[in-house]
Amino acid sequence: MKNILRNSIYSTFLVVLLAPVAGAQKVDGFYAAPSNLFQAEYPRISSDNRVMVRILAPDASKVQVQGGDGFCPDLLDMVKDTGGYWNLTLTNVVPGFHYYWFMVDGVRVNDPGCDTYFGYSRPTGGIEIPSAGENYYLAKDVPHGEVRENWYYSDLTGKWRCIYVYTPPGYEKEIKNKYPVLYLLHGMGENQTSWSKQGRLNFIMDNMIAEGKATPMIVVMEWGVAVDKAAPVQAPGAQGAPGADRNSFVNGNAALEQVFIKELIPHIDSYYRVKPGRDNRAIAGLSLGGYQTLTIGLNHIDLFSSFGFFSAAIIGNIMSDPATAFNGVFADATSFNKKVKVFWFGAGTTGSLEPRIHDMATNTIKKLNDLGIKTTFYESKGTAHEWLTWRRDLYQFAPLLFK
C-alpha cells in the first residue's frame, strides 16, 4: 500500500519531469528564440531572420501558422513530417516582437514553446527576433526600478481596475524625491501588462536613466478599456479581468476619458510621490493607444504638457480638419506651441500595415504644420506594426520629457 501511494505521488510529479522536451534536434545556424519557455528548443531563429516553427500534432489533418505585421500576417500551410510534427521555416521575418499562433484543424493554438502575452484580446503566443546591435531594451547591470501591480476602485465603471506602474531606480530609497508621470497606453486588444512584458519598458527606462538620457519618472499603464456602469452593455466576466472592449472604441473612449481624468490621475497623484501639475504630466500611446492619446490628451491640455503618438491609429474624422478638432485646440498655433512642450509622432516603415500608419502620421503632421503647429517626427527604419517600433519610440521620446 505504501509503495502504491508513493508511486502515485511520484507519477504525478514525474509526468512533468519526464515529459519530452520539445526536441533536442540541432539544425545548422538556428537557435532557440530568446523568448522561448525554459528548455523549449522551438521556435528556432537564424541570424538571417528565418524562423523555424513546429508543433506536434500527429492526428491533425491541417496545420497552419499566422502572426502579426512583419511576421506572417497571412495563414501559411505547414508540412507534416514522419514524426508527427508539422514544420515551416519562415523567411524575411522583420526583427522585433511578433505575436503568432497555429491553426490546428481550424482551431487557434499558441505555440507550446512560447510564453503568452495579452494581445488580440486574449493570451497569445509571441517570439522575440533580436535586432542586431540593439540592446537598450535588455536587462543590464544598472540600478533597476520596479513595475508595480496596483488596484484602484473606479466608481464610474463600478469595478476595481488593475494598473501597472513603473517606479524608477531610486524611488524606493530616495524617499524625499517626487517624480513626474508619463501615462502610457498600449494597442487594441492588449492590456496594462503589455508595455512591460512585450515592450520591456522597465529595462528601457532603467538603461536610459542610468545613462543620464532620461529624467527619472513614473510611468502608468492602464487597461485602456472602460464601460460606464450605467451603460446598457453586457459584460459578463468583467470583474477586473483583462480583455478588449468592443464598445469603448466605437463610442470614442468617452468612458475611458472620464476614468482617466476623474479617477486614475487623482489616484496616482495621491498614491505615489508625484510632482504636481501639467508640466510634470505627459501622455503617449501606440496604435489604438495613440488614438486614445489624441482624445484624452487633446481634450485636456490643461492636464498634460507633452504628447506622444506611436504608430497612432488616426482614423475616422478625428483629425480630418485640425483647425476645428478638439474644440479648436490647434486654432491658435502660437499659444499651442507655447503651452505644449513635446508633440511627437513616430512610425515604422515596413510590414503590410505599418507603411499606411506611417502615411497617417505624415499626413496629420503636414496638416498641423500648415496650421503652424510644431511637431517632431521619428521614423523607425525597417520595423513593422509591432513592439520593436514602439520600444524605439519610447527610447526617442522619453528623453525629451520633463526637461
What residues between 60 and 119 interact with a copy of itself by CB under 8 A? 60-62, 104-110, 112-113, 115-116
Assess 39 for contact with a copy of itself (CB under 8 A). Answer: yes
Residues in 334-393 at the binding interface with a copy of itself, rule: CB under 8 A: 353, 356-357, 359-360
Residues in 172-191 at the binding interface with a copy of itself, rule: CB under 8 A: 172, 175, 188-189
Which of 100, 179, 195, 249 touches a copy of itself by CB under 8 A? Answer: 249
- Min separation Cβ 238 and a copy of itself, Å: 5
* Grid cell listed for 363: 499626413
Which of 50, 56, 331, 379 touches a copy of itself by CB under 8 A? Answer: 56
Closest CA to 395 of 380, 381, 385, 375: 380
Closest CA to 307 of 316, 297, 299: 297
Assess 244 for contact with a copy of itself (CB under 8 A). Answer: yes
Closest CA to 199 of 2, 395, 403: 395
- Min separation Cβ 217 and a copy of itself, Å: 17
- Min separation Cβ 146 and a copy of itself, Å: 4
What Å distances lie between residue 204 and 176, 193, 345, 391, CA to CA? 24, 15, 19, 8
Assess 57 for contact with a copy of itself (CB under 8 A). Answer: yes
CA distance 334 to 8: 77
Assess 132 for contact with a copy of itself (CB under 8 A). Answer: no
Assess 5 for contact with a copy of itself (CB under 8 A). Answer: yes
Q: Using CB under 8 A, count the residues that bind a copy of itself.
A: 92
Assess 245 for contact with a copy of itself (CB under 8 A). Answer: yes
CA distance 30 to 47: 8
- Min separation Cβ 199 and a copy of itself, Å: 13
Helix (H, G, I), strand (E, B) or coil at 19: coil
Which of 79, 230, 315, 323 touches a copy of itself by CB under 8 A? Answer: 315
Closer to a copy of itself by Cβ: residue 12 or 327 = 12
* DSSP type of residue 319: T
Closer to a copy of itself by Cβ: residue 40 or 373 = 40
Q: Any idea of the CA torsion for 217, 221, 226, 228, to the nearest 10 degrees?
A: -30
- Min separation Cβ 38 and a copy of itself, Å: 3
Assess 55 for contact with a copy of itself (CB under 8 A). Answer: yes
Half-sphere exposure of 328 (CA within 13 A, CB side): 3
Tell me: cis bond preceding 232? Omega within 30 of 0 counts: no
* Grid cell listed for 41: 528548443
- Min separation Cβ 69 and a copy of itself, Å: 9
Per-residue x/- mask for a copy of itself, residues 153 to 172, rule CB under 8 A? x------x----x------x
- Min separation Cβ 95 and a copy of itself, Å: 17
Which of 27, 75, 79, 139 touches a copy of itself by CB under 8 A? Answer: 139
* Grid cell listed for 160: 476595481
Residues in 223-242 at the binding interface with a copy of itself, rule: CB under 8 A: 225, 234-242
CA distance 193 to 186: 9
**Are the C-beta atoms of 309 and 294 separated by less than 8 Å?**
yes
H-assigned helices in 239-294:
254-258, 265-271, 288-292
The greatest distance separating any two alpha carbons of the chain, rounded to the nearest whole angstrom, comes to 86
Assess 144 for contact with a copy of itself (CB under 8 A). Answer: yes
**Are the C-beta atoms of 378 and 346 separated by less than 8 Å?**
yes
